[in-house]
Structure 1
């Protein structure tokens, strides 16, 4: 077990940390909406995992700090578990007021 490099376990640990970090910032919304693990066999250790996160807050500075916290913990978990981590920003929209 200690030689496994299970990317799904790594993703799960990061996702749990995202929830913990989100709870530190009032009104922050952090949603992991999709997750994919490959090859996807019942008895095959996932060697590749991909997931999305939607991060929102009315103050851009708060969202950016939460993002930095998430990136730091994700990098730490990946390093600790000897996993490669690639973060791709798909979209960044500034918060807007509906007043």
Structure 2
């Protein structure tokens, strides 16, 4: 029992103190979740609009966008999608 308590205390001390990392990771995620019953084509259109927005309106900061239709952290289905947005190096933003 003592070993478990000491181990938990050691892990608690070693955990980061904030939710967000101290350094800029250079990547963020965008999720799209359409209403239930939305088709895969409709979801793809939304993902294309998201990609177009990041690559045109935010082009000063965005390096690339990789969008996946049918997958998201909320679950899988034809009404969900996720985009991985890679930012330019901090010195270029």
Give the alignment's TM-score, normalised by structure 2: 0.38
* Larger strand percent: 2
- The structure with the larger Rg is 2
